[in-house]
Amino acid sequence: MKQNKSAFKWRHYESTIILLCVRLYCRYQLSYRDVEEMMKERGLDVDHSTVFRWVQRYAPEINKRIRQHLKMTGTSYRVDETYIKVGKSCKYLYRAVDKEGNTIEFMLSAKRDVCAAKRFFKKLMRADHRKLPFSISVDKNAAYPDAFTSSQEEKILPRDCTLRRVKYLNNVIEQDHRFIKKKVRASQCFKRFHTAERTLEGIEAVNMMRKGQVKKLAGSDARGQAKFVASLFGIAA
C-alpha cells in the first residue's frame, strides 16, 4: 500500500513511530513523559514536547478518518456531559452513546446551557454512523428540555423523537465516562481549550476502537487496531 506522504511531510521520524506514539498516548493512562520514556527503551530519542505536537496534529485526523469505518449505532440515545479541567476552570464534555454504550458523538463546550445543548444536538445529527433517534435520554439538567423542543422546531431533531429524563437510563453513559476521565487524569490537566479539544478527539476515537465499533475489527485485537490506524494513512504497519 502506498504511503500517504503528505500527512507526514517534514517530520523527522517515520510515520509508523509517530502513529505509535499518538495511539499509545490516546489509548493508555500515560503522560507525554511516559511515552518519551517508553520510546527511549526502544532506542528512540523522542522528546515529550514532540509527542505533544504529534498528538495535536494527528489525533483529530484519526478521529476524522475513522468515521466512515464505524458500525451503525442504535436508535436509543443516551446524552450526558462531564467535567473536563482546562487551565484553572472546568469545561463540559458533551457525549452521546446508544443503549449498548457505543459512542455516537462528543463535543467540548465552554458553557453548559441551552445554546451548548442545541449545538451538540446539531453535531449529533451530523454523525455519519448514527441512525435517527427514537428517543434521547438525559439527566435533570434544565437546559435539555428547551434545547430539545427548539431543535425539533428547527427540524434538527425528528418530530417523532421523545425526550426521556429518567436517571437510571443514563447509567450506561455515566459508566462510559470513566475511560475518558481516567485518561484525562493521567494527563493531569489541559492548559488551553483548543489543546483539550484536539486531544479528546484522539482519545474518543481510540475509545471507539476499544469498544469494537470499527467494522470487522474486534475491540480486543490490539495488533489489528494498530494496523487499522496505519491503514487510515495509507501505511503498511
pLDDT reading at 183 higher than 60: yes
Average pLDDT estimate for 204-232: 95
Average pLDDT, the chain: 93
pLDDT reading at 71 higher than 70: yes
Same structural domain, 116 and 199: no
Q: What is the pLDDT of residue 168?
A: 83
Q: What is the pLDDT of residue 17?
A: 94
Print the domain residue range for 146: 76-179
pLDDT above 90 covers a percentage of the chain that reads: 84
Same structural domain, 99 and 132: yes
What contacts 130, CB < 8 A, 6 or more positions away? 72, 73, 104, 105, 124
Q: What is the pLDDT of residues 130-167, one digit of tens each?
A: 999 999 999 989 999 999 999 999 999 999 999 999 87
Whether 184 maps to a domain, the answer reads: no
Same structural domain, 167 and 80: yes
Grid cell in block for residue 100? 449498548
Average pLDDT estimate for 39-62: 96
Average pLDDT estimate for 24-46: 94
Total of domains in the chain? 2
Q: What is the pLDDT of residues 89-145, one digit of tens each?
A: 999 999 999 999 999 999 999 999 999 999 999 999 999 999 999 999 999 899 999
Q: What is the pLDDT of residue 186?
A: 80
Whether 186 maps to a domain, the answer reads: no
Following DSSP, what letter does each residue of the chain receive, concatenated?
----GGGGTT-SS-HHHHHHHHHHHHHSS--HHHHHHHHHHTT----HHHHHHHHHHHHHHHHHHHGGGBPP--SEEEEEEEEEEETTEEEEEEEEEETT--EEEEEEES--SHHHHHHHHHHHTT-TT-PPPSEEE--S-THHHHHHHHHHHTTSS-TT-EEE--GGGGHHHHHHHHHHHHHHHHT--BSSHHHHHHHHHHHHHHHHHHTT-BTT--TT-HHHHHHHHHHHTT---
Same structural domain, 127 and 215: no
pLDDT reading at 1 higher than 50: no
In angstroms, the CA 1 to CA 232 distance is 11
Grid cell in block for residue 7? 500527512
pLDDT reading at 56 higher than 70: yes
User: What's this model's pTM, rounded to 2 decimal places?
Assistant: 0.92
pLDDT reading at 3 higher than 90: no
Same structural domain, 82 and 172: yes
Whether 226 maps to a domain, the answer reads: yes
Average pLDDT estimate for 57-84: 96
Same structural domain, 89 and 167: yes
Q: What is the pLDDT of residue 2?
A: 45
Whether 237 maps to a domain, the answer reads: no
